[in-house]
Amino acid sequence: MVGPHLVGFKTVTSAGRAVRGRSQQERDRAGGWGKVETGRSQPQPRLSPFSRAAGWDPPALMPPTSSGCGPSTPSLSLMPRTLDGQITMEKTPSYFVTREAPRRIHGMSPATKLIVVVRNPVTRAISDYAQMLSKTPGLPSFGTLAFRRGLGPVDTAWSAVRIGLYAQHLDNWLRYFPLSRFLFVSGERLVSDPAGELGHVQDFLGLKRVVTDKHFYFNATKGFPCLKKAQGSGHPRCLGKSKGRPHPRVPEAMVQRLRAFYRPFNRKFYQMTGQDFGWD
Ligand SMILES: Nc1ncnc2c1ncn2[C@@H]1O[C@H](COP(=O)(O)OS(=O)(=O)O)[C@@H](OP(=O)(O)O)[C@H]1O
């Protein structure tokens, strides 16, 4: 394994977790990852016996100081212990869009591997709004938040819109990490072909391909792939209720305007990553 740590991000779908062993040498042999999804994230990598996920919130890796600014380097001492040959992953979606995150994670370990799960930014924004609505019923309509002055310009200050400007966020990361440190996972293919996408993840991490098609089945009730056997229980397991919930209806004209708005940013992102995600 070339790199010791891995940070993953969410549908952006998110951003990630690092690795801690007992010594620097031990840490360097391990791998860590986090997820930059501008959306939200999946637990499948835990299927692999070679990976472990730590369970903490972003402030644990990059705690704020009393002045409101975090330390210049996130603390590896906050990472869980990792056995020789294991990977510990960190997943904090917001790291992908946090200006300070690339410099600070690079300061912690320049060998960190980064996994970014991305989905169509229009769907992502609606998904984000669905999540907000579930926490704050009575929120203004999607259109009121996404566009200024009625149906005026797209409001890039709204987080659900801003997060989908993947090219801009990636630009910030590429100042610290080369493209080879990133794996971009298609959020759409994660649903249509989870084993295929997980194959890329395992290869990227230098892991044996132990997670395959035979680990998944399509759950018609949920409308998504689920695990045939969850780790530890041996029973089938789908992601929780907050993953894959129905989206509010957004008028087609608004969807089209958002699609047009994101098109140049998406194209730039395809160019930067060398991957066409097929959103346009
Ligand atoms: N297998 C499976 N089951 C359920 N959901 C799945 C699955 N694979 C991907 N997805 C998509 O993941 C979306 C939620 O992920 P998030 O980005 O919110 O995850 S995280 O909270 O950032 O970790 C969620 O978005 P919504 O559909 O908008 O809820 C799903 O479309």
Which ipTM did the prediction report?
0.95
| pLDDT digits 0-9 by tens, 162-199 | 999 999 999 999 999 999 999 999 999 999 999 999 99
Provide the pLDDT confidence category of residue 61 given band limits of 50, 70 and 90: low
Ligand 1, CB cutoff 6 Å, lining residues: 10-11, 13-14, 37, 39-42, 93, 127, 130, 190-191, 224-225, 239, 243-245
Total-model pTM: 0.82
CATH topology of domain 5-273: Rossmann fold (3.40.50)
Question: 19-23, 110-114, 261-265: which has the minimum mean pLDDT?
Answer: 19-23
Q: Which of 58-72, 88-102, 193-207, 243-257 has the lowest mean pLDDT?
A: 58-72
Residue owning the nearest CA to atom 25 of ligand 1: 244
CA 230 to centroid of ligand 1, rounded, Å: 17
Largest CA distance in the chain: 57
Asked if residue 22 has pLDDT above 60, the reply is no
* Residue 124, marked binder: no
Q: Residue 58: is its pLDDT beyond 60?
A: no
Mean pLDDT of the chain: 81
Mean pLDDT over 224-251 rounds to 92
Higher-pLDDT residue of 51 and 213 is 213
Q: Is 233 annotated as a binding residue?
A: no
Centre of ligand 1 to C-alpha 244, Å, is 5
pLDDT higher than threshold 70 for residue 1: no
243 annotated ligand binder: yes
Number of the ligand 1 atom closest to the C-alpha atom of 242: 29
pLDDT value at residue 74: 63
Q: Is 246 annotated as a binding residue?
A: yes
Confidence class for position 50, pLDDT limits 50, 70, 90: low
- Give yes or no for residue 40 having a pLDDT over 90: no
Task: Name the band, by pLDDT with cuts 50, 70 and 90, for residue 213.
Answer: very high
Q: How far apart are CA 238 and CA 35, in angstroms?
A: 20
Nearest CA to ligand 1 atom 16: 40
CA distances (Å), 32 to each of 72, 113, 116, 163, 273, in order?
A: 20, 7, 14, 24, 21
Question: Which of 146-150, 177-181, 205-209 has maximum average pLDDT?
Answer: 177-181
